[in-house]
Amino acid sequence: MASVSHELRTPLAQIRMFTETLQLGRERNAEERQAWLNIIGREARRLGDLVENILLFSHIDADRAKLELERTDLGELIEEVVEGYVPLAEQRGMRIWPMRRRASSRWSTPGPCVR
């Protein structure tokens, strides 16, 4: 249960942070505002996907659903996660970026649930 609550808190923290930042009017321009709104939307979808996955896994646990796996591009996943933290890093005077060394993929459940 601790793992599940952590997974739910992560997108919530991003949604709260970017919403509060926008409410305080801290965006420098319309482009930055749109980027932050995109992050809020992505994290809200992620949160919805997590809830759906919790329901799916409860059905799997009860033998009422079949688990499907697909290949996940880990480099792409890392880039997406890092991209979500770029605005926060910039606010704190830092720069971050992913260092993609080689393409790698793993089996995971479909869609954003790995995120």
Here the CATH number for the domain that contains residue 13 is 1.10.287.130
Residue type, 20: E
Asked whether the predicted pLDDT for residue 112 surpasses 90, the reply is no
Cβ-contact 94, 78 below 8 angstroms: no
- Which pair of tokens denotes residue 72? 């996940």
Which is it for strands 70-73 and 105-108: parallel, antiparallel or unpaired?
Answer: antiparallel
C-alpha distances out from residue 57 to 31, 44, 49, 62, 103, Å:
38, 20, 12, 8, 29
- Using only C-alpha atoms, what is the Rg of the chain? 16
pLDDT digits (tens, 9 = 90+) for 67-102: 678 888 888 888 888 888 888 888 889 988 777 666
The percent of residues in the chain predicted with pLDDT above 70, rounded, is 83
Average pLDDT of span 4-19: 90
Cβ-contact 88, 81 below 8 angstroms: no
At 92 the pLDDT is 87
Domain span at 12 = 2-114
Q: Where are the beta strands (DSSP E) in the chain?
A: 70-73, 105-108
* Domain tally, the chain: 1
pLDDT digits (tens, 9 = 90+) for 17-36: 999 999 999 999 999 999 99
Cβ-contact 100, 79 below 8 angstroms: yes
The sign one gets for the Cα dihedral 80, 13, 46, 18 is: negative
Whole-model pTM over 0.75: no
Nearest to 50 by CA among 93, 94, 6: 6
pLDDT band, residue 114 (cuts 50/70/90): very low
